[in-house]
């Protein structure tokens, strides 16, 4: 049970949030131009990293905003939190 | 009368408060403050139970949560009964009933004890190997045999009458453990201005120092117990310190989130308990955590080290010094270190006969000198090679050890005794530290695992951090706390501590014996009956990882999680495998540290509080009219309305006929409703539904199908265009919350450029759906100002209206195939709307119908229910709903997936109708469908998704998903049931009014 700092509300208990999987997977603008493999890559393939992962979270029982989190999946340490549309921190 | 083993006065018990309790049906007495174990020992009772595998008699071994043997059932046979209670932790109360478990037929004569004589055939892996084959004997022979002779207590059969609670607690500093280091830490923390919480699992603070009366242990020139007692008085007056007794930490999660169980009622008699809380689960979020969880004494591993009367030396000291109970009249202390000499001296001072066996050659400690001066006989460089006595130890045999400690020499010496106190040194309690993600290091000098790298803001102090001597404990606690809490000065800065120091260490994980290992029983895990030879056998069979050896031998897998056994198991593995213990690692310690009751975990979330119940505004009306309800998600929906003695079938047949013949009314308030506003609302709907929305006129309604990005049907419902930039979307009852979340996700992350605003309005409106040939006549009466004809108010359109001055939205839409209206009104008028509909409909015999009839009516029309006829693997094409998938739209959610090779396969499972050859036979929903019953293995083509007897068609109808179903129309298939096989024919799935003539009737 970690603590997440919602970029809109501040520090809250994990139980207020829901996880949304890997971040920065943009829905293709022209899906019809993609091959089956390319579409499947967007649709099904996720990295599932042990270590530093960029992922989406939603403050479901709060402001209901989606945002991004940089988390070490091996120890749940959170390194950064940033809004949708913002660039991920480089380090 | 049996002998009284309460030998000395003690200030820790209330001698004026004598308490009677029953153990195995016999009445005994103890005093307020006794544990069940100390009270039994004071009555000379050592034998408590039988071991799990060999059914060997076992006695009380310890005085705390690490107890492996003294596990009892308490609370008699009623609802208060509880298994697996440690007698060493359970406080006695007037009327307590306790009994041995794991003994059948009783503790003194035990049938399973025969396992003890055939034990050469029950080695490690016995349960894995023996009961594996032949498999068919499992239910008839193996499992009943194991359960009969090895059952670990009985579960209560009645509901738990007690109350439990959950509570949150936030603090600056949480101190876990109320021994001397925890008390000093709490004091420093509180003085430093931190909101501090100190929790301790006992009924009083002080740990083992509180009964340390030896004059060699002094703090500021006072005997350590006296000094500590004053400190305890001091901290009780500190303003920002909360002390919680009888509170044990169960789990330590990341980010300093901890769970602790506070015992409020377990020590009280049943009379005192009624209607009060029994236990409370504290959910603690601490900024900083100080672990002062102490250490537990290690046993020694030698042949037959498990007899009743074999106990840990420090526990024997606590029983005599704290509870005033001697654990025997003739004691032998068997040790590898100085601390056990404290026990010897305590016993000697009280005039109890004691002898010492030490595996070391010598010790320079003042304690040893004192023991010698007191005339206590010490056998240096000796080990115990055997013990005698079945229900209680009677004698031991000792031998001298060779210089390297691997062998025994000389002749055996027999010592008569009724208690053997053993001490193999100390193991720091690092369980909680590792639960929190901490990494351990190994200290070779005394072979202990210690906290190394912590994952959160915490420190470990005292003996759980490897400080075993009083001066180290106190001085390191003070300096570590000062650093950790950034405090410059404390009340303890000038403290003076004097204590004996241990210089001579010796450790042998498995002590030598004159017999080969195979002929001995050196127990490691007393609760699970695994021995040193089981570990060696596992290693001979190729197991190397500690986690594998643990599971194969079941070492450390009891309710005590092997608190005593684990270190010796590791030691023997490392010696056998020739690897360093530090590199072997430990098994994973998982929460809870000590077992939790289900009641504590569940708290108040039982019965009606288990989940939220959502009721529609019309609920009371349904109740008054004897509706039966069904659960749909959290909603209670009217299921059917039985009249007189009708059963469900009869009600549904009557309701269905009435709805088609004259008028029916359904409470549709539970449907999800999402209010959509914004200049891009039409474009948004275009992207989330499969069909086109741009051309939907204002005041018009349209059915929409929503897919997941994988092309599978996700939800459906009718959306109404209320004005240019304003829509009202309806969703399925169960899907409402998920649909809103999904739409918000797309809006925020994929299409933030769209000007669209979503609001959930499910609870804001109540909905009455009136259908049937007379629905128009009823609406006319209710809304005299509205023109109800097919030109001005056609099917799939909407009008604003007023009912007695209250605004309503009327949608002319139909889920039954009948001419039908849905009236939406602000929730608080829902019941009144319903009653007005009933009044207006009276002359037309308006009939309320429930969800079951709704399902039947829509099945007659072949309308799907998402989640019943679909299961997340059905595309619109599979559902034969190609008409709703726009070919013109460039993109919508899931569109691309409809052209994947797999979704385009023609032999996918597809929605079809099924008609039984015998029209009165009704298929079972979920039944499998096959073509050829003889084929092996039989091929499952699909299953029945919806099935009813249609009163309007006077025959049975069903919907099903069937492989390649579109092409099987007209073909015969089989539905095999338990006692017969039903013949069916694949049909169209619109069974009734396929031309939709009734919509405008
Ligand atoms: Zn928020």
Listed by start position, the domains of chain A span 3-83
Q: List, in order, residues 6 or more apart from B406 with CB less than 8 Å away.
A: B512
- B961-992 pLDDT, tens digit per residue, is 999 999 999 999 999 999 999 999 999 999 99
One domain, residues B3 and B104: yes
What DSSP character marks residue B587?
P
Do A32 and B891 count as a contact with CB atoms less than 8 A apart?
Answer: yes
Cβ-based contacts of A34 with chain B (< 8 Å): 896
Residue in this structure with the two tokens 């959306």, named with its chain if needed:
B719
Examine the pLDDT at B127 and tell me if it is beyond 60.
no
One domain, residues B335 and B475: no
Do B285 and A13 count as a contact with CB atoms less than 8 A apart?
Answer: yes
Do A43 and B709 count as a contact with CB atoms less than 8 A apart?
Answer: yes
What is the predicted pLDDT for the residue at B3?
A: 78
Domain boundary among B118, B140, B158: B158
Domain boundary among B547, B564, B588: B588
- CA-nearest of B316, B572, B501 to B420 is B316
> Are the CB atoms for B250 and B591 separated by under 8 Å?
yes
SS3 B370: helix
One domain, residues B281 and B340: no
For the ranges A31-40, B147-156, B934-943, the lowest mean pLDDT is seen at: B147-156
Classify residue B518 as exposed, middle or buried by CB count within 10 Å of its CB (0-12, 13-18, 19+).
exposed
One domain, residues B955 and B970: yes
Examine the pLDDT at A63 and tell me if it is beyond 90.
yes
Query: In this structure, is residue B644 part of a structural domain?
Result: no
- B922-944 pLDDT, tens digit per residue, is 999 999 999 998 888 999 999 99
Strands B426-428 and B448-453 turn out to be unpaired
- CATH at B340: 3.50.50.60
Examine the pLDDT at B827 and tell me if it is beyond 60.
yes
Measured CA to CA, the distance from residue B720 to residue B734 in angstroms comes to 20
Cβ-based contacts of A32 with chain B (< 8 Å): 890-891, 895-896, 899
**Buried (b) or exposed (e) across B883-897, using 16+ Cβ within 10 A?**
ebbeeebeebbbbbb
Residue in this structure with the two tokens 């993600």, named with its chain if needed:
B437
Distance (angstroms) between ligand 1 centre and the Cα of A16 equals: 9
Measured CA to CA, the distance from residue B765 to residue B775 in angstroms comes to 21
Cβ-based contacts of B887 with chain A (< 8 Å): none
Give me the number of domains chain B comprises.
6
ipTM of the complex: 0.98
Both tokens of residue B342? 């404290």
Measured CA to CA, the distance from residue B641 to residue B628 in angstroms comes to 6
Continuous H helices in B109-268: 114-117, 126-129, 137, 143-150, 180-191, 224-235
Q: What is the largest CA-CA distance in chain A?
A: 43
Domain boundary among B143, B158, B173: B158
- B176-233 pLDDT, tens digit per residue, is 999 999 999 999 999 999 999 999 999 999 999 999 999 999 999 999 999 999 999 9
> Are the CB atoms for B504 and B360 separated by under 8 Å?
yes
What is the predicted pLDDT for the residue at B139?
A: 59
> Are the CB atoms for B280 and B164 separated by under 8 Å?
yes
Both tokens of residue A60? 């479901």
Examine the pLDDT at B575 and tell me if it is beyond 60.
yes
For an interface test with A, give the residue of B255, B612, B895 to mutate (most A CBs within 10 A): B255
- B675-697 pLDDT, tens digit per residue, is 999 999 999 999 999 999 989 99
Query: In this structure, is residue B933 part of a structural domain?
Result: yes
- B272-322 pLDDT, tens digit per residue, is 887 789 999 999 999 999 999 999 999 999 999 999 999 999 999 999 999
Tell me the residue length of chain A: 91
Mapping DSSP onto H, E and C, the string for B92-119 reads: CCCCCEEEECCCCECCCCEHHHHHHHCH
Instruction: Inform me whether the C-beta atom of residue A45 falls under 8 Å from chain B C-beta atoms.
Output: no
Q: List, in order, residues 6 or more apart from B249 with CB less than 8 Å away.
A: B176, B199, B201, B258, B259, B260, B293, B432, B593
Strands B909-916 and B955-963 turn out to be antiparallel
Label residue A1 by pLDDT band (50, 70, 90).
confident
Query: In angstroms, how far is the first alpha carbon of chain A from the final one?
Result: 25
One domain, residues B690 and B833: yes
What DSSP character marks residue B700?
B
Both tokens of residue A52? 């530093």
One domain, residues B128 and B268: no
Query: In this structure, is residue B639 part of a structural domain?
Result: no
Classify residue B403 as exposed, middle or buried by CB count within 10 Å of its CB (0-12, 13-18, 19+).
exposed
> Are the CB atoms for B875 and B898 separated by under 8 Å?
yes
Instruction: Inform me whether the C-beta atom of residue B488 falls under 8 Å from chain A C-beta atoms.
Output: no
What is the predicted pLDDT for the residue at B103?
A: 56
What DSSP character marks residue B896?
G
One domain, residues B478 and B368: no
- B78-89 pLDDT, tens digit per residue, is 888 998 899 999
Neighbours of B154 (CB within 10 A): 13
* Chain B residues 697-736 with a CB less than 8 Å from chain A: 709-710
Q: Which of A1, A34, A65 sits opposite B255 (nearest CB)?
A: A1
Query: In this structure, is residue B682 part of a structural domain?
Result: yes
> Are the CB atoms for B804 and B825 separated by under 8 Å?
no
Query: pLDDT above 90 covers what percent of chain B?
Result: 80
Write the CA distances from B606 to B164, B635, B778, integer angstroms: 10, 18, 44
Neighbours of B392 (CB within 10 A): 18
Continuous H helices in B279-421: 313-321, 339-349, 366-373
* Chain B residues 269-308 with a CB less than 8 Å from chain A: 285
Query: In this structure, is residue B947 part of a structural domain?
Result: yes
- CA-nearest of A7, A1, A3, A4 to A86 is A7
**B594/B752: higher pLDDT:** B752
Continuous H helices in B157-241: 180-191, 224-235
> Are the CB atoms for B821 and B773 separated by under 8 Å?
no
Phi, psi values for residue B483, rounded to 5° = -65, -50
The whole-angstrom distance between A12's CA and the closest CA on chain B is 11
Measured CA to CA, the distance from residue B292 to residue B185 in angstroms comes to 9
Strands B295-297 and B426-428 turn out to be antiparallel
- CATH at B540: 1.10.10.1100
The whole-angstrom distance between B183's CA and the closest CA on chain A is 28
Mapping DSSP onto H, E and C, the string for B759-782 reads: EECHHHEEEEEEECCCHHHHHHHH
| Average pLDDT of every residue of chain B | 92
Label residue B124 by pLDDT band (50, 70, 90).
low
Q: At what angle do helices B180-191 and B224-235 cross, to 10 degrees?
A: 40
One domain, residues B538 and B507: no
Q: List, in order, residues 6 or more apart from B574 with CB less than 8 Å away.
A: B580, B581, B584
Instruction: Inform me whether the C-beta atom of residue A20 falls under 8 Å from chain B C-beta atoms.
Output: yes
Both tokens of residue B312? 């840990």
Measured CA to CA, the distance from residue B742 to residue B747 in angstroms comes to 9
Sign of the alpha-carbon dihedral angle for B326, B327, B332, B333 = negative
The whole-angstrom distance between B832's CA and the closest CA on chain A is 33
Instruction: Inform me whether the C-beta atom of residue A31 falls under 8 Å from chain B C-beta atoms.
Output: yes
Please report, for chain B, how many H helices and E strands are present, in that order. Answer: 25, 50
One domain, residues B66 and B114: yes
Q: What are the respective helix, strand and coil percentages of chain B, to the nearest 5?
A: 25, 30, 45
Both tokens of residue B947? 């099935």
What is the predicted pLDDT for the residue at B49?
A: 83
What is the predicted pLDDT for the residue at B1?
A: 44
Measured CA to CA, the distance from residue B878 to residue B908 in angstroms comes to 7
Instruction: Inform me whether the C-beta atom of residue A85 falls under 8 Å from chain B C-beta atoms.
Output: yes
Neighbouring-strand partners of residue B459:
B290
Neighbours of B234 (CB within 10 A): 12
Q: Return the beta strands (E) in chain A as ranges.
A: 3-6, 10-13, 18-22, 52-58, 66-72, 77-83
The whole-angstrom distance between A16's CA and the closest CA on chain B is 14
Both tokens of residue B869? 């006829």
Label residue B123 by pLDDT band (50, 70, 90).
low
Examine the pLDDT at B840 and tell me if it is beyond 50.
yes
> Are the CB atoms for A13 and A23 separated by under 8 Å?
no
Mean pLDDT of B471-488: 97
Cβ-based contacts of A76 with chain B (< 8 Å): 254-255
Cβ-based contacts of A60 with chain B (< 8 Å): 741
Helix (H) or strand (E) run with residue B995 in it: none
pTM: 0.89
Cβ-based contacts of B890 with chain A (< 8 Å): 32
Mean pLDDT of B435-439: 93
Mean pLDDT of B20-43: 96
Do A2 and B455 count as a contact with CB atoms less than 8 A apart?
Answer: no
The whole-angstrom distance between B733's CA and the closest CA on chain A is 20
CA B138-B144-B147 angle, 5° bins:
120
Query: In this structure, is residue B866 part of a structural domain?
Result: yes
For the ranges A76-80, B554-558, B933-937, the lowest mean pLDDT is seen at: B554-558
Residues with CB under 5 A from ligand 1 (ion): A 6, 8-9, 59, 62-63
Range of the domain at B876: 861-987
Residue in this structure with the two tokens 């069903």, named with its chain if needed:
B958
- CA-nearest of B609, B8, B79, B68 to B327 is B8
CATH architecture of the domain with residue range A3-83:
2-Layer Sandwich (3.30)
CA B635-B637-B642 angle, 5° bins:
155
Examine the pLDDT at B102 and tell me if it is beyond 80.
no
Classify residue B725 as exposed, middle or buried by CB count within 10 Å of its CB (0-12, 13-18, 19+).
middle
Phi, psi values for residue B228, rounded to 5° = -65, -40
One domain, residues B339 and B390: yes
Radius of gyration for the alpha carbons in chain B, expressed in angstroms and rounded: 38
Radius of gyration for the alpha carbons in chain A, expressed in angstroms and rounded: 15
One domain, residues B416 and B374: yes
One domain, residues B143 and B170: no
Label residue B620 by pLDDT band (50, 70, 90).
very high
What is the predicted pLDDT for the residue at B276?
A: 86
Do A75 and B897 count as a contact with CB atoms less than 8 A apart?
Answer: no
Do A84 and B709 count as a contact with CB atoms less than 8 A apart?
Answer: no
The whole-angstrom distance between B901's CA and the closest CA on chain A is 8
């Amino acid at each position: 049970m970690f603590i997440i700092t919602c970029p809109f509300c501040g520090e809250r208990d994990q139980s207020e949030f829901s996880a949304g999987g890997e971040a920065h997977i943009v829905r293709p603008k022209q899906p019809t131009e993609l091959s089956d493999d390319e579409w499947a890559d967007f649709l099904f393939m996720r990295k599932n990293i042990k270590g530093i992962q960029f992922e989406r979270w939603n403050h479901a029982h709060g402001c209901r905003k989606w945002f991004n989190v940089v988390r070490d999946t091996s120890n749940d340490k959170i390194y950064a939190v940033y809004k949708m549309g913002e660039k991920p921190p480089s380090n | 009368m049996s002998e009284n083993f309460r030998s000395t006065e003690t200030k820790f018990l209330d001698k004026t408060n004598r308490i009677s309790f029953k153990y195995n049906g016999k009445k005994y007495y103890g005093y307020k403050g006794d544990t069940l174990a100390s009270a039994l020992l004071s009555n000379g009772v050592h034998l408590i139970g039988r071991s799990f595998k060999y059914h060997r008699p076992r006695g009380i071994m310890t005085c705390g949560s690490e107890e492996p043997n003294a596990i009892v059932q308490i609370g008699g046979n009623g609802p208060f009964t509880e298994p697996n209670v440690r007698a060493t932790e359970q406080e006695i109360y007037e009327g307590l009933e306790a009994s041995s478990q794991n003994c059948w037929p009783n503790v003194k004569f035990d049938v399973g004890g025969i396992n003890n004589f055939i034990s050469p055939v029950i080695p490690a892996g016995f349960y894995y190997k023996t009961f594996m084959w032949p498999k068919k004997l499992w239910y008839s022979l193996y499992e009943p045999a194991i359960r009969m002779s090895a059952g670990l207590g009985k579960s209560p059969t009645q509901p738990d009458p007690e109350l439990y609670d959950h509570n949150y607690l936030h603090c600056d500093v949480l101190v876990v453990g109320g021994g001397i280091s925890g008390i000093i830490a709490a004091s420093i923390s509180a003085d430093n201005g931190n909101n501090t919480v100190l929790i301790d699992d006992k009924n009083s603070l002080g740990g083992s120092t509180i009964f340390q009366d030896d004059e060699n242990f002094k703090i500021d020139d006072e005997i350590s117990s006296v000094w500590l007692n004053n400190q305890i008085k001091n901290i009780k007056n500190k303003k920002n310190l909360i002390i919680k007794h009888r509170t044990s930490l169960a789990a330590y999660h990341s980010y300093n989130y901890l769970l602790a169980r506070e015992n409020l009622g377990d020590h009280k008699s049943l009379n005192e308990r009624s209607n009060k809380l029994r236990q409370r689960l504290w959910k603690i979020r601490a900024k900083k955590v100080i672990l002062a969880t102490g250490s537990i004494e290690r046993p020694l591993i030698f042949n037959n080290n498990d007899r009743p009367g074999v106990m840990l030396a420090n526990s024997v000291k606590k029983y005599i010094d704290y509870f005033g109970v001697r654990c025997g009249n003739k004691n032998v202390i068997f040790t590898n270190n100085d601390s056990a000499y404290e026990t010897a001296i305590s016993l000697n001072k009280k005039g109890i006969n004691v002898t010492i066996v030490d595996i070391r050659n010598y010790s320079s400690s003042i304690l040893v000198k004192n023991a010698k001066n007191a005339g206590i006989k010490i056998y240096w460089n000796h080990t115990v090679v055997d013990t005698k006595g079945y229900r209680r130890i009677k004698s031991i045999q000792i031998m001298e050890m060779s210089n390297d400690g691997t062998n025994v020499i000389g002749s055996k010496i027999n010592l008569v005794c009724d208690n053997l106190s053993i001490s193999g040194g100390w193991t720091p309690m690092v369980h909680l530290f590792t639960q929190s993600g901490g990494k351990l290091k190994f200290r070779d000098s005394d072979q202990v695992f210690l906290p190394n790298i912590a994952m959160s803001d915490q420190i470990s102090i005292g003996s759980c951090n490897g400080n075993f001597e009083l001066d180290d404990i106190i001085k390191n606690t003070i300096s570590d706390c000062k650093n950790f809490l950034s405090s410059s000065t404390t009340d303890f800065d000038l403290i003076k501590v004097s204590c004996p120091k241990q210089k001579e260490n010796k450790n042998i994980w498995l002590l030598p014996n004159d017999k080969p290992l195979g002929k001995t029983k050196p127990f490691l895990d007393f609760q699970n009956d695994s021995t040193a030879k089981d570990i060696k056998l596992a290693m001979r069979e190729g197991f190397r990882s500690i986690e594998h050896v643990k599971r194969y031998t079941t070492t450390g897998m009891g309710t005590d999680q092997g608190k005593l056994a684990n270190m010796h198991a590791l030691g023997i593995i490392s010696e056998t495998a020739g690897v360093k213990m530090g590199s072997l690692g430990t098994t994973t310690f998982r929460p809870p540290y000590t077992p939790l009751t289900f009641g504590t975990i569940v708290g108040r979330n039982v019965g009606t509080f288990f989940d939220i119940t959502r009721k529609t505004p019309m609920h009371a009306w349904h109740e008054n009219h004897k509706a039966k309800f069904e659960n749909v998600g959290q909603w209670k929906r009217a299921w059917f309305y039985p009249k007189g003695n009708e059963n469900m079938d009869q009600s549904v047949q009557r309701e269905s006929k009435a709805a088609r013949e004259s008028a029916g009314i359904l409470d549709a308030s539970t449907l999800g409703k999402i209010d959509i506003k914004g200049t891009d609302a039409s474009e948004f709907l275009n992207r989330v539904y499969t069909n086109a929305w741009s051309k939907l006129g204002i005041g018009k309604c349209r059915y929409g199908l929503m897919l997941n990005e994988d092309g599978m049907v996700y939800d459906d419902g009718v959306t109404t265009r209320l004005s240019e930039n304003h829509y009202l979307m309806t969703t399925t009852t169960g899907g409402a919350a998920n649909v809103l979340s999904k739409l918000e996700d797309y809006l925020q992350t994929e299409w933030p450029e769209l000007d669209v605003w979503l609001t959930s309005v499910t609870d804001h409106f109540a909905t009455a759906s009136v259908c049937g040939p007379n629905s128009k006549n009823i609406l006319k009466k209710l809304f005299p100002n509205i023109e109800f004809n097919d030109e001005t108010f056609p099917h799939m359109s909407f009008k604003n209206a007023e009912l007695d001055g209250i605004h309503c939205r009327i949608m002319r839409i139909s889920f039954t195939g009948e001419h039908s209206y849905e009236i939406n009104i602000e929730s608080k008028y829902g019941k009144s709307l319903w009653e007005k509909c009933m009044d207006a409909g009276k002359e037309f015999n308006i009939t309320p119908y429930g969800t079951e009839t709704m399902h039947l009516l829509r099945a007659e029309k072949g309308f799907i229910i998402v989640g019943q006829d679909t299961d997340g693997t059905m595309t619109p094409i599979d559902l034969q709903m190609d008409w709703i998938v726009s070919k013109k739209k460039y993109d919508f959610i899931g569109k691309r997936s409809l052209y994947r090779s797999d979704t385009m396969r023609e032999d996918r499972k597809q929605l079809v109708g099924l008609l039984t050859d015998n029209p009165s036979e009704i298929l079972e929903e979920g039944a499998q469908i096959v073509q050829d019953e003889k084929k092996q293995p039989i091929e499952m083509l699909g299953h029945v998704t919806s099935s009813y007897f249609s009163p309007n068609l006077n025959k049975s109808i069903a919907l099903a998903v069937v492989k390649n179903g579109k092409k099987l129309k007209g073909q015969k298939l089989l539905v095999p049931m338990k006692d017969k096989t039903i013949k069916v024919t694949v049909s169209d799935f619109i069974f009734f009014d396929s031309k939709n003539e009734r919509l405008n009737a």
